[in-house]
Structure 1
Amino acid sequence: MKRRKAREYVLQFLYACEMNENTQKICNYNFLQEEIEKFWERNYEEQNSDIKSFANQLIEGTIEHIDIIDKIIQKYADKWNIERMITIDKNILRFSIYEILYRQDIPYQVTINEAVEIAKKYSTKESAAFINGILDRIAKEEICHNKSAEK
């Protein structure tokens, strides 16, 4: 449950950045660190360092790879323009794709399940199914592609 809470914070952070049109600005490392610090000041009630640490890792990794991640979303989101996606769904996809592609310490099935549960809580049932479908395809195709490239 700690990691789910961390993922929910990541969603809040990414959502706020997008609503404030800061997504491109936070690609600057120093600006990103300032924004993360401000975020935790606003969420001062969260005292668990494990939650904060995991959330920070996901935020930093997602932002670092956001251009690649957005291209992957566009590739797998059949007939959906990323700019027209529900902001919550897009950001759940973003941090989940980061986990799937860059965090081999987390089984992709866990990541997908967490993303679906978060979507059910913060978005819609349709969104949960949409996110599940996209992440499942990405996990199967990108992981298989990466494994075959390693051989």
Structure 2
Amino acid sequence: MTTFDDLIKDDFEANEFDAFPAEGSITGDSRTEARLLALQAIFQHIFVNQPLDKVRDEFLKYYVKQHKADKKILTTILDDVASNQERYEELVADNLNEKWTYDRLGLVEKSLLISAVSELSATTAPTKVVINEYINISKGYFNPKEVGFINGILDNLAKKIRV
């Protein structure tokens, strides 16, 4: 029986992937990996309605090492969201214009914005760094117009959070 690996091995030689980040890492940067995992954990928490502390423990056990993610950043974001999610959702909702409501946002958008608001609120990472990181992450999920939408919301939120 032919396996999937057999089908693709002629098409892809191992050396074609040398430019990819370390195995398990998507970006090659531990802080960006932590932010991606935070987004994914918050998404799982909302989508499955699973307590965030359980999701956090699962991600710490199974994904931090595999993705070479910064454990401190991930833990800080997820613990902060666990304590402040409702307030962060309100902050995001208050920064949408009258054409958009919080309920109209997709789960990935909500998760990304909640994670970014948490990092802006709970860490001392430079504002530009936080915004740029989440904009770059959003480029992997959204089209340019949606990325601009996310950027506008993050800029407004940062001005209110980091006075």
Q: Secondary structure at the match of 1:77?
A: coil
Tell me how far apart the structure 2 counterparts of residues 97 and 122 of structure 1 sit (CA, whole Å): 18
Tell me how far apart the structure 2 counterparts of residues 61 and 37 of structure 1 sit (CA, whole Å): 14
In structure 1, what is the equivalent of residue 73 of structure 2?
A: 54
Does residue 63 of the first structure (1) align with residue 82 of the second (2)? Answer: yes
Tell me how far apart the structure 2 counterparts of residues 115 and 35 of structure 1 sit (CA, whole Å): 21
TM-score by length of 2: 0.73
Instruction: Return closer, same or farther for 1:44/1:6 CA change in 2, 3 Å cut-off.
Output: closer
In structure 1, what is the equivalent of residue 116 of structure 2?
A: 96
1:62-81 aligned within 5 A: 62-79=81-98, 80-81=100-101
1:25-40 aligned within 5 A: 25-26=51-52, 32=53, 34-40=54-60
In structure 2, what is the equivalent of residue 19 of structure 1?
A: 47
Does residue 83 of the first structure (1) align with residue 103 of the second (2)? Answer: yes
Provide the aligned length of Structure 1 versus Structure 2: 134
TM-score by length of 1: 0.79
| Conserved 8 A contact 1:88-1:123 | no
Structure 2 residue runs of 5 or longer lacking an equivalent are 1-28
Does residue 8 of the first structure (1) align with residue 36 of the second (2)? Answer: yes
Please list every run of at least 4 consecutive aligned residues from structure 1 whose deviation after the TM superposition is greater than 3 angstroms: none
Tell me how far apart the structure 2 counterparts of residues 138 and 47 of structure 1 sit (CA, whole Å): 29
Which of 82, 106, 111 does residue 130 from structure 2 map onto?
Answer: 111
Structure 1 residue runs of 5 or longer lacking an equivalent are 27-31, 145-151
AA partner of residue 35 (structure 1) = V
Q: Over alpha carbons, which structure has the higher Rg? A: 2
Percent identity of equivalent pairs: 22
AA partner of residue 81 (structure 1) = T
RMSD: 1.9
Which structure's residues are more often helix, by fraction?
A: 1
Tell me how far apart the structure 2 counterparts of residues 6 and 143 of structure 1 sit (CA, whole Å): 22
Tell me how far apart the structure 2 counterparts of residues 44 and 54 of structure 1 sit (CA, whole Å): 11
Q: Secondary structure at the match of 1:122?
A: coil
